[in-house]
Amino acid sequence: MKKNLYLIFFFAISHTLQAQETDLERTQYFPKIIEKVSTIPSKNKVWVFIMAGQSNMAGRGQVAPSDTIPNKRVLSLNKKGELIYAKEPLHFYEPTRTGLDCGVSFANRLLQQIPEDVSILLVPTAIGGSAISQWLGDSTYRDVKLLSNFKEKVAIGQLYGIVKGILWHQGESDASEKRIPFHTQNLTKLFGMFRNIIGVKNLPIILGELGSYSKTNDNWQKLNQQLREYVDTDRYSTIIQTQDFKHKGDDIHFDSAGQRTLGERFALAYLLKFNK
């Protein structure tokens, strides 16, 4: 009996230490200092982009030191809704899961081709694991009321700048035989709600495909087809492909290289179709 109790205690301690080591590895390059914006740019010189969806938008990649070098023209919000200089990770809703997302790479690529007096404000609203029905129903998921939080963060963004678009990556939670057939119509409803909240009926929305590495890849590709069908119906949307991306070892989340490329492709898609 004592031997069994000892083994249980040993394995419990070992599991706890392994979890702590994994978390330390995940967060080792997270920024130690969050810098509030000292001089707020003119509102008409700030382009606001809303980041929405689930975990591949919230970010699960490994942050590198280069991802935390601030650019005075790239801004974000902290969990208090305060304006800060953007450093990865941008999302703060899931502190035990959060990692590198695509936001900073998106902004840095955009800066190469927009006026030099324009700044970018990235507004994080993505919650890992959230299904589209939960967004539509304004459900509380992982302690966040999804649509209400989106509305709240949009309002803050609009205090500082002009909303120029939404970056959307979501669908892993809906890639099932039961949910796939309704995804296009659900996107139509949700994006209509987003645009109504923001007050721009022709607001650009850029969608990202799901990857190609899932253990249920047939369903992921069927959902990607739904995304493409939606884009065919909405001239103010476009889609970027991710079929060449690799996962981080879990068959679900883009690795760091994929996240940085995702941001660059979002930027190029915006520049190609909407920045004219």
Nearest-10 crossing angle of helices 146-160, 183-198: 40
pLDDT score, position 8: 44
- Is the per-residue pLDDT at 14 higher than 60? no
- Is the per-residue pLDDT at 166 higher than 50? yes
d(CA 119, CA 82): 16
Note the CATH architecture for domain 33-273.
3-Layer(aba) Sandwich (3.40)
d(CA 148, CA 151): 5
For the whole model, what pTM was predicted? 0.92
- Residues paired with 237 in a beta bridge: 205
Out of 15-29, 73-87, 110-124, 147-161, which region has the weakest mean confidence (pLDDT)? Answer: 15-29
Q: How confident is the model at residue 22 (pLDDT cuts 50, 70, 90)?
A: confident
d(CA 84, CA 233): 37
3-state secondary structure of 162: strand
Q: Answer yes or no: are the C-beta atoms of 263 and 106 closer than 8 Å.
A: yes
d(CA 262, CA 239): 11
Average pLDDT, the chain: 93
- Is the per-residue pLDDT at 18 higher than 50? no
